[in-house]
Amino acid sequence: MREGRIERSGGFVLFRFERDLAHPAERIWAAVTEPPEIERWTGRRPEIDLRDGGEYVSYHGDGMRVVDEVLRVEPPRLFEHTFWRHVNPDARVTWELSAVGDGCRLRFTHRLSEADIANALATVAAGADAELVVSRNAGSWQRLLDGLQRSLDDERPGQVSAAGVRRGPARRARPRPSGRAPGPPADTTRRPS
């Protein structure tokens, strides 16, 4: 499910992506929890106190510093944190990893409440409508997860992550079917919701 799904349920919008990756869970865990590894696929290095109740601090192009909270840490299978909680107090991002053959299935979920979307429309996304906020979030997560997958697939065999996890063999990116766009057009304005 490379493209993901958007679901509405019980006052929440859920963005769900599932990817089977040709890397072990420990490697994916390092890629989504270690600041230098996160920087490889996002272009920005966060600060993470990787424990329940720890801080997850991210920095954005306009100099904004966003402080979130680590909610659950169960290495190497579950990582959950808030997302822009000063704007979206109900928002949660969950990374779930499970072994599948020689690789790993990544289940990614971003949950926003309808109240979070309304708050975003009154602040950081002023002038937009709810559907634009939803589509921006979906497109942004799609691009970030594509970046994560490219980063993992482009690594050289034998490299070792900051946590000492040996990286697997390099993989070539699969060509896109001709005539098919890779996803929504890039939105260079990063707006949380």
Q: How far apart are CA 151 and CA 130, in angstroms?
A: 32
What pLDDT score was predicted for residue 125? Answer: 83
Residues (pLDDT < 50) of the chain are 1, 162-163, 165, 167-193
What pLDDT score was predicted for residue 159? Answer: 52
Give the CB-side neighbour count of residue 183, counting CA atoms within 13 A: 19
Q: What secondary structure does DSSP assign to 82-103, as a single string? A: ESSTTT-TT-EEEEEEEEETTE
What pLDDT score was predicted for residue 155? Answer: 76
Which stretch of DSSP H or E encloses residue 178?
A: none
φ/ψ of 13, rounded to 5, equals -110, 130
8 Å CB contact between 47 and 33: no
What pLDDT score was predicted for residue 169? Answer: 43
pLDDT in tens, 126-170: 888 888 889 888 999 999 999 999 999 987 555 555 445 454 443
What pLDDT score was predicted for residue 163? Answer: 47
Q: Where are the domains of the chain?
A: 5-153
Q: CA-based angle 53:59:61, to the nearest 5?
A: 160
What pLDDT score was predicted for residue 2? Answer: 62
For 116-146, b/e burial (b = at least 16 CB within 10 A) is bbebbbeebbeebeeeebbebbbbbbbbbbb
What pLDDT score was predicted for residue 154? Answer: 86
Whether the bond into 76 is cis, omega within 30 of 0: yes
**Measuring CA to CA, which residue among 52, 57, 50 is closest to residue 34?**
50
CATH 3.40.640.10 is held by the domain 5-153: no
What pLDDT score was predicted for residue 16? Answer: 96
Which stretch of DSSP H or E encloses residue 55?
A: strand 55-59
Radius of gyration (C-alpha) of the chain in whole angstroms? 17
What pLDDT score was predicted for residue 158? Answer: 53
Q: Enter the pTM of the model.
A: 0.78
First to last CA, the chain: 23
